[in-house]
Amino acid sequence: MKLFSKPVALAMAGVVSLAACTDPAQLNQNPNLSKTQQGALIGAGAGALAGALSRGDGNRDRGAVIGAVVGGAIGAGIGYNLDQQEAELRRDLGNDDVQITNTGDRLIVSLPQDLLFATDSFSVRPDLQNDLYTVAGSLQNYPASTIQVIGHTDSDGDAAYNQRLSERRAGSVAGILMDAGVTPSRLQTIGRGESQPVASNLNEAGKAQNRRVEIIILPTA
């Protein structure tokens, strides 16, 4: 049975491979693509695949093309909104210690532990909550998204303890976002413990980078 013509299959393979890529370093390796363009490609890839698989009349090429066009338009809109939200967050936070990564299909706001918690604590210090209220305001201004709050630790101490600490820290941050007006149903809390370091745990500078909470903003079409 013939599934796709060669040109459509090749096009789909290209855009789907980009759509599957969620690593910021990989998505940002082409400086000639704006985030809006990346969003369009991601949407086109997902739309092409969904459109092809949804065709019940055997005309999968047509479904792929229609899906790619619709998905690309949606993806471009998502990419544009992410560009806008990223720019506003950078302006309103005004804090170089808060890292904001725009992958074209999501925003990742990474807050170091030292901006939020005392050592071994999962209670956000009252004097350090302003950044979270700023993020909450942005989330309310852009309501078409779901949010993952992910806690991370360094590798010092017991792994099971670090896992629990990361879960509690994620829950504390999510709690403040909800107190600031973010709808609870949009939020998911996740603890990664020491399992996803972004730097070496062999020195203090690396450990400081690994101790963080990430707020991942995932637009919904």
Domain ranges of the chain: 33-93, 95-219
Residue type, 69: V
Give me the pLDDT at residue 11, please: 46
Q: How many residues does the chain have?
A: 221
Q: What is the CATH number of domain 95-219?
A: 3.30.1330.60
Q: For residue 115, is it left (φ>0), alpha (ψ between -120 and 50) or beta?
A: alpha
**pLDDT band of 127, cuts 50, 70, 90:** confident
CA angle 110, 116, 121 (to 5 degrees): 120
Over 90: is that where the pLDDT of 21 sits?
A: no
Give me the pLDDT at residue 119, please: 85
Q: What is the pLDDT of residues 154-203, one digit of tens each?
A: 999 999 999 999 999 999 999 999 999 999 999 999 999 999 999 999 99
Sheet with 107-112, strands from edge to edge, namely: 99-102, 107-112, 212-219, 145-152, 187-191
Give me the pLDDT at residue 38, please: 57
Of the chain, the end-to-end C-alpha distance in Å amounts to 33
- For residues 122 and 169, the answer to whether their CB atoms sit within 8 Å is yes
**Residue carrying structure tokens 């829950």:** 171
122 versus 76: the higher-pLDDT residue is: 122
Pairing of strands 99-102, 107-112: antiparallel
Over 50: is that where the pLDDT of 40 sits?
A: yes
Give me the pLDDT at residue 22, please: 43
d(CA 59, CA 63): 7
pTM: 0.69
**Residue carrying structure tokens 């203090």:** 204
Sequence-ordered list of residues with C-beta below 8 angstroms from that of 88, at least 6 positions apart, any chain = 138, 141
d(CA 90, CA 114): 19
CA nearest to 73, candidates 48, 56, 52: 48
Collapsing DSSP states into helix, strand and coil, what is residue 200? coil
Over 80: is that where the pLDDT of 219 sits?
A: yes
41 versus 14: the higher-pLDDT residue is: 41
- For residues 52 and 67, the answer to whether their CB atoms sit within 8 Å is yes
